Amino acid sequence: MTKIAIVEGDGIGHEVIPVARQVLEVLHPTYDFYTVDVGYHRWEETGCPCADRDIAALKEADAVLFGAVTTPPMKDYQSVVLRIRKALDLYANLRPIKDSGFDVVIVRENTEGLYSGIEEIDADRATTLRVVTRKGTERIVRSAIRLVQNRHGSLTIGHKANVLKSDVFFRDICLKEAQAAGIPHNDKFIDALALDILQHPDMYDVVVTTNIFGDILSDVASYLVGGLGLAPSANIGDRHALFEPVHGSAPDIAGKNIANPIAAMRSAALLLSHLADDPGADLIEQAIQRTLTSGIRTRDLGGNAGTREFGDAVAHEISRLTRR
């Protein structure tokens, strides 16, 4: 039986994930759903945000649906989501940005770069080591190349090789792999790319970049689809996969039933495509589009539907589509 671990996390994770789960349950009532409770709230309650047994429970799943966790800017607090990405070796973070007229996937390296965790802070100086390895770069660019081949598209390598030696290394490995694969490709400085993707999204297909550049670029690019409430992501490794919205726990709107659950539902759709190329993924997107077209929208899109109400409307559309 297909096992799906559900992690709500913190903040609006408690609101958007139940909605996304409901959609999965409508489509796959026989899946085995089980919850894993991690996040900052666990740290507040117990002093431990994520235990070893939680990681073990996530590893049991065929796929994880994850909300968001609060990562407070404290010196000694380790982000739960980063720990999970590392523990499950989810090295490819795929962040699709798609609407009529453009279809881009940002492929973010997810385990190294500035997120390698080699840091030091003392009274007068702080350092964070940016580690880019051959192995890490080859596996992320090969994931991106496979995507390009499946989509019959092209690859853009985003970097800052004019300044950073680690990005000369990253760019050169990416270029070599793209040339060897014989796919159309180019490369661009990440700062110029961040503007150009907003001005000409139709010129891009797959964009591969290092960890923090991909983090920033994906929040920026979510502007193209209506903001963070709409942008999903897939974290893929060789053995595990986790699906989560690009957004965080949004403490400013948490607990108000106003968060947009589309990013979470689209993450559930990515989960289904990953597991079995499931037609349910298309149904979820169709149902979201129908709901939006009918005028039901959450506040970030200018409407007044609550998170729950929007989710119910999408679930209702899915039932109608599957009854046909």
Q: Judged by CB under 5 A, which of 15, 54, 112, 215 binds Mn ion?
A: 215
CB-CB contact of 157 with 206 (8 Å): no
Under 8 Å between Cβ of 309 and 258:
no
Q: Number of H helices and number of E strands within the chain?
A: 11, 12
Q: How far is CA 94 from CA 56, 241, 254, 255, 281, in A?
A: 24, 11, 26, 28, 16
Which of the choices Mn ion, ligand IPM, ligand NAD, none does residue 272 contact, using the CB cut-off of 5 to 8 A by kind? none
Please tell me whether residue 228 binds ligand NAD under the rule CB under 6 A. yes
115 is an active site residue? yes
Residue 112 binds which of ligand NAD, Mn ion, ligand IPM, none (CB < 5-8 A, kind-dependent): none
Could you say which of 115, 167, 187, 205 is catalytic? Answer: 115
Q: Is 191 a catalytic residue?
A: yes
Cα–Cα dist 215/108, whole Å: 7
DSSP letter at 25 equals H
Q: Would you give the binding string for ligand NAD spanning residues 290-319, x where CB under 6 A is met?
A: ----------x-------------------
Pairing state between β 126-128 and 119-121: antiparallel
Phi and psi torsions of 102, nearest 5°: -155, 155
In this complex, which beta carbon is closest to ligand IPM, that of residue 267 or of residue 298? Answer: 267
- Tokens matching residue 288: 């979201």
Q: Please give the Cα distance from 193 to 254 (Å, whole number).
A: 32
Q: Applying CB under 6 A, which part among 47-55, 63-71, 162-170, 196-204 lies near ligand NAD?
A: 63-71
**Distance between CA atoms of residues 109 and 210, nearest Å:** 5
82 binds, among ligand NAD, Mn ion, ligand IPM, none (CB under 5 to 8 A by kind): ligand IPM
Would you give the binding string for ligand NAD spanning residues 241-280, x where CB under 6 A is met?
---x--xxxxxxx-----xx--x-----------------
Residue (71 or 267) nearer to ligand IPM, CB: 71
Residues forming the site for Mn ion (CB under 5 A): 215
Residues forming the site for ligand NAD (CB under 6 A): 12, 16, 68-71, 81, 228-229, 244, 247-253, 259-260, 263, 300
